[in-house]
């Protein structure tokens, strides 16, 4: 989409949406069927598992691993690894059950 920045050595899987104004820094891996919503910032070296959604305006610090089938709420700040199937929200992002 418009205004997206994807930096060097990043791989984006098949059937992904990288939405308006999103920034994906260097050496990231975005799995198949992911949605990176508008205004998301993903720092370098982040891995996002397949079928995951990163909500509008969320930020992910460098080196984080995000599992498969994860939902990250809008505006969240991810500072820890997230396991498969988790739903996280807030600043810092915490799992919601």
Residues with catalytic roles: 26
68, two tokens: 């498969």
Residue with tokens 């975005």: 30
C-beta of residue 64 within 8 angstroms of C-beta of residue 49 = no
As a whole number of angstroms, the distance between CA 24 and CA 8 comes to 9
């Amino acid at each position: 989409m418009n205004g997206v920045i994807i930096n060097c050595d990043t791989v984006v899987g098949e059937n992904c949406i990288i939405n308006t104004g999103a920034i994906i820094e260097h050496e990231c891996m975005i799995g198949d069927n992911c949605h990176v919503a508008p205004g998301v910032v993903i720092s370098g070296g982040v891995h996002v598992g397949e079928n995951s959604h990163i909500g509008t305006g969320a930020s992910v610090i460098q080196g984080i691993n995000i599992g498969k089938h994860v939902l990250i709420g809008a505006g969240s700040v991810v500072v820890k690894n997230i396991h498969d199937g988790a739903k996280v929200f807030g600043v810092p992002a915490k799992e919601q059950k």
